[in-house]
Copies of this chain bind each other. A is one copy, B any other.
Amino acid sequence: MADTTLTPERILEAAEEVLRRFGPGKATVVDVARVLGVSHGSVYRHFASKTALREAVADRWLDRVHADLPAVTAGTAPAAERLRSWLHTLHGTKRATALDDPELFATYVALVAEASTVIAASLDGLVAQLARIIADGVESGEFAVDDVPRSARAVFYATVRFHDPTHSAQWADPDIEQQLDAVCDLLLDGLRPR
């Protein structure tokens, strides 16, 4: 491949192919350059280090797993309905990804676990979406909350069983969605005015 056609997008696709084929230990700049048939210098022109490349792959995967959430956040349904739907969407996508190909899921989870700044940014982004839904609910009178960001973070922490990959073994439970519904009921009651 001529170096001139080498884009960050093309490099990231190759890195994902390497990960899929060889597991989380791989997908270094050298591995990816080999798959692309270019020098590793060409890859370094787009990603300054192995860490930068692996973080970009982790980030891209999280973006894909979370792709359906912004539309739920920005929807026009009542806030309570949107909040429940948002949590079920996050759980559903994570569960489908984990159960569909557990080995590839574990590979990406291991990659994400290395990338603490990517994790922190992703978490902040998700909590900001929850905060937006809760703020909408406060405005419409559905919810009464003193501190919206604190409640948003509490909702995120209270649902880790349903979205944190360390719990993926439990996502095959036949009643996992009923468990999430019971937690949603309690959290939504906690947000409502009294």
Contact = CB atoms under 8 A, between A and B. Distances in A.
A155 to B, nearest CB: 7
| Best-surrounded residue of A159, A160, A186 (most CB of chain B within 10 A) | A186
A154 B186 contact: yes
A50 interface: no
Interface stretch (A40-48, A65-73, A177-185): A177-185
Interface residues of A, number: 26
Given A160-B161, A161-B160, A166-B166, A150 B187 contact: no
Contact of A187 (B158, B161, B179, B192): B158
Contacts of A164: 161, 167
Given A158-B159, A190-B186, A153 B167 contact: no
A141 to B, nearest CB: 13
Contacts of A192: 194
A17 interface: no
A151 B166 CA distance: 23
| Best-surrounded residue of A155, A187, A191 (most CB of chain B within 10 A) | A187
Given A157-B183, A182-B151, A194 B191 contact: no
A38 B117 CA distance: 55
Nearest to A190: B190
Nearest to A159: B158
Interface in A107-145: none
Going nearest first, the 9 A-B pairs with the smallest beta carbon separation are A190-B190, A189-B190, A158-B158, A154-B182, A186-B190, A166-B166, A194-B194, A154-B186, A160-B161
